[in-house]
Chain A
Amino acid sequence: MADISQQLKEQVLQARDSGHKLNIVGGGTKAFMGREADTDAGTLNVGEHTGIVDYHPVELVLTVRAGTPLSEIEATLAEEGQCLHFEPPHFGGASTIGGTLACNLSGPGRPWAGSVRDQVLGIRLLNGKAEHLRFGGQVMKNVAGYDVSRLQAGALGTLGVITEISMKVMPKPAASLTLVQEMGMDEVIHYMNSRAAEPKPITAACWVDGKVYLRLAGAKSGVEATAEKWSGEVMEQGDKFWQEVQDFHHEFFAGNDVPLWRFSVGSTAAMPKLEGNWFIDWAGSQRWFRGAGELKDLEPAARTAGGQVSLFRGGDRAGEVMHHQPEALKGIQRRIKNAFDPDNIFNPGRLYSWL
């Protein structure tokens, strides 16, 4: 538990003065994400910038230094019957909250509970000029100034060093239960979306290996009444199943030989016709694909499905790993990068080759 922000600031200043680049590292568990890191760049270690700065259970608000491990945060919240509602994936015990936001990683409950980006209320950020800035705040509603806090979600640290995060936390649901049944991939998209359109306490919906899994959570009476009305068998150890999905421990994700692609698409879009295996999550909005191929070959399928594709793990990370951006948006993003990091110090080339 330490505040090393001054040290981080000095390192950024040094890099700026000497013209060096910096790779930002927290727990070091997500080195596999994004494009390959610049091997000439130095390392800025945020992993020791840890500790809970402020936590008021009554406010449902937590302020924490960015290097704090998720496990530590979750243990603190659990003492008060609260949790990180967006169910962040843990890539081992060292995954930090800062890295989770920078990568915009959220678990199976995301369509209902919101993403890490949705729960963020404010941040502190070290920009490329080594200015330690504060955006947003600790309150639920705040429209003063641009939403620089949520802008960081998915930016992979290219806009600065997130040093502190204030976020909304939620009470743990009183009860939860998982229904499972066999279903083909052709029917499941319609089925999951129809269930999601009902006013019932559904909080997760995924499909893998010919089975559809729906999670119900909330007040015990509501969960049980819905389970009686809906088809499917109550799964033993349902929570364990979802934890495996959340942490990429499900066997679908095992092994590194075949690249893992992430399709973020319209929830009702027809399944793309591609050679490989699918894991459908988020009631159809997030579809994991394991198959060989190149980004440019998969992009048309993602576009047809109303969304985007990115290479999540494995494959060729020397080329682009994120869906192609149109010229006008490239221009805007380059200028935003320049606005935060004019000397291009942070995570060069990690998000796009051109950024």
Chain B
Amino acid sequence: MTTKPKVSKAELAEQFRAFIDPNYVITDDETMKPYECDGMSMYCEMPLLVVLPETVEQVQRVMRICNENAVPVVARGAGTGLSAGAMPNKEGVVLSLAKFNRIVEIDPLARTARLQPGVRNLAISEEAAQYGLYYGPDPSSQIACTIGGNVAENSGGVHCLKYGLTVHNILSVEMVTAEGDVVTVGSDGLDSCGMDLLALMTGSEGLLGVVTEVKVKLLPKPEVAQVVMAGFDDVQKGGDAVGGIISHGIIPGGLEMMDGHAIIAADDFAQAGYPRDAKALLLCEVDGTEEEVHEHIAEAEEVFRKLGATSVRTSQSEEERALLWKGRKSAFPAVGRISPDYYCMDGTIPRREIAYVLTEMEKMSEEFGLRVANVFHAGDGNLHPLILFDANVPGEFERTEAFGSRILEMCVEVGGCITGEHGVGVEKIRQMAVQFNDEELQQFHDVKAAFDPAGILNPGKGVPALRFCQEYRSLEHKQHTHEHTEAAHG
């Protein structure tokens, strides 16, 4: 943990202004206001100041000054994160990488792109499209989120069952260490000598270094993609069909599931022609060569019918494919229309537990008196329960948080984890104590110290201080923890 900073706000600003355009060393509350939170707006904090360097050397100097003076540094991309990982530290600097927004180079033959960290995820695929290439990971925030943030969170998206997460799609990262050194981890080769520091950096939530350049792999755009939509009259059948299709030997480009609440909300919004009486809906996209897709689509339709689908529909044109996806892609805002606020959770479970977890969630929904809709990456078992609430009703957000905690704990109980792609940040830091014991958490702290001896990088995020964990485990992690495990697997 950091000690008290050794320097005042004014002194720090003056030091930065010596080498950074003074307009981009922000110290007034009004201009700093947009930086007070990320996409998880329930968690806010005003920083000491905000700085927007534009060269790697400037980033190095910022880091050296902060390291010497024990000033916390929170690196920030587009601020679209959903776990408050970029929430400022009130005694620290927000280091925005917004000015690092250049696509340095695309090499179509090698199928790689060199990017500054502030390049938007979608912009990579847009630029690569002229070569018939695209970048695989496509988080739902891809229109705004940046590649630097994607590295920090190990972002996934709809297509990661087949094409992998960020960690599978990057070759190297140039970063500035807490002490101000520039190092490159990884190389143009597919792997490098020794321990895999690139994997360690990916998903480290800004706690180990500041990413200043990323080299990503690009993929050839599939010739054809088609989507099969299958409706089921109960959640169990829908859940079983997810495993059914995969164990049949087909790895879909995307395999998404919606529950009854989400189906209706999404169909009202997008008018995609979803089966409104279904209790579970699967969207299964198959991509590849024309022949391959033709073969797999026929197999997928048959598998779904055999597993009890009440309706099966396959897109016959690009327009129809887009329409079927439109409902899924607009599901969050669609749910937003039926509730003043919603809280998006992010746990992962083994696929075989989908039906059990959804059923339990319905029970909890009644217990907490809050509605919940489910739209998620079924292929990966990555749930995104949306808890509907009204922030203007006193106590309702607190109840929502408690409901969310129970969902995450249930994910761990069935063999899953507390976050599939949103990260721990501040939001899920307490639940880390459910997934890991003290020795494991201490090992994480020791890894952190190897990169950041003074503890200035994003302190207070990602890994909880051990003294809080015991308390949380005894308070929150009640009797219910082991009941299910014994009943279901005993």
Contact = CB atoms under 8 A, between A and B. Distances in A.
Interface of A: 56-61, 80-81, 104, 110-111, 114-115, 117-118, 127, 131, 133-135, 137-148, 150-156, 158-159, 170-172, 174, 190, 193-194, 196-201, 218-222, 224-226, 263-269, 282, 285-286, 305-308, 310, 322-323, 325-326, 328-329, 332-333, 335-336, 338-340, 351-352
B183 A171 contact: no
Given A141-B380, A267-B110, A146 B418 contact: no
B177 A332 contact: yes
Contacts of A80: 247
A329 B183 contact: yes
A152 B196 contact: yes
B28 to A, nearest CB: 35
A266 B111 CA distance: 10
Contacts of B415: 137-139
Nearest to B209: A332
9 contacts: A133-B440, A139-B415, A139-B420, A140-B380, A150-B167, A152-B196, A194-B109, A267-B188, A329-B185
Given A115-B190, A154-B193, A199-B289, A142 B419 contact: yes
Contacts of B246: 58, 60
Interface string B426-459: 0010001001100110011011111101000000
Contact of B196 (A104, A198, A339): A104
Contact of A199 (B183, B223, B250): B223
B220 interface: yes
Contact of A58 (B194, B247, B377): B247
B399 to A, nearest CB: 24
A154 B196 contact: yes
Given A117-B199, A148-B443, A339-B446, A56 B428 contact: no
Contact of B193 (A115, A117, A310): A310
B197 interface: yes
Contact of B380 (A57, A127, A137, A139): A139
Task: Choose among A147, A159, A224 the residue with the greatest number of B CB atoms under 10 Å from its CB.
Answer: A147
B189 A58 contact: no
Given A140-B420, A351-B194, 14 more contacts: A58-B352, A110-B190, A141-B160, A144-B424, A146-B203, A146-B204, A147-B199, A151-B196, A155-B195, A171-B248, A198-B220, A268-B107, A285-B189, A308-B189
B192 interface: yes
Nearest to B432: A144
B158 to A, nearest CB: 12
Contacts of B444: 145-146, 148
Interface residue tally on B, bucketed by range = 35 or more
Interface stretch (B64-72, B290-298, B363-371, B387-395): B290-298
B17 interface: no
Interface of B: 107-112, 131-133, 153-154, 156, 160-161, 164-165, 167-168, 177, 181-183, 185, 187-197, 199-200, 202-204, 208, 220-223, 243-244, 246-251, 288-292, 294-296, 348-352, 377, 379-382, 415-424, 428, 432, 435-436, 439-440, 443-444, 446-451, 453, 462-463
A328 B380 CA distance: 37
A332 B190 contact: no
A160 B148 CA distance: 30
B420 A328 contact: no
B195 A56 contact: no
Contacts of A193: 109-111
Given A104-B191, A153-B199, A308-B193, A147 B167 contact: yes
Task: Choose among B160, B291, B428 the residue with the greatest number of A CB atoms under 10 Å from its CB.
Answer: B291
A332 B451 contact: yes
A81 B417 CA distance: 28
A107 to B, nearest CB: 12
Contacts of A310: 193
B350 A56 contact: yes
A197 B289 contact: no
Contacts of A138: 350, 415-416
A137 B420 CA distance: 11
B443 A340 contact: yes
Contacts of B196: 104, 117, 150-155
Contacts of A117: 191, 196, 199
Contacts of B449: 335, 339
Contact of A57 (B247, B417, B420, B423): B247
Nearest to A264: B189
A148 B444 CA distance: 9
A117 to B, nearest CB: 6
Cβ-closest 8 pairs across A and B: A306-B188, A222-B292, A264-B189, A266-B188, A150-B199, A307-B189, A335-B450, A58-B243
A332 B450 contact: yes
Contacts of A143: 153-154, 203, 419-424
A286 B190 contact: yes
A140 B153 contact: no
B189 A142 contact: no
Given A218-B288, A329-B197, A140 B191 contact: no
A351 B203 CA distance: 25
B382 A140 contact: yes
B348 A142 contact: yes
Contacts of B439: 131, 133
A279 B219 CA distance: 25
Nearest to A166: B415
A184 to B, nearest CB: 18
Contacts of B222: 199
A219 B296 contact: yes
A268 B112 CA distance: 10
B190 A141 contact: no
Contact of A145 (B350, B379, B432, B451): B432
Contacts of A156: 194
Contact of A139 (B168, B185, B221, B416): B416
Contacts of A352: 194
Nearest to A196: B111
A328 B183 contact: yes
B111 A197 contact: yes
A150 B200 contact: yes
Given A197-B109, A199-B223, A329-B185, A111 B190 contact: yes
A154 B195 contact: yes
Nearest to A229: B289
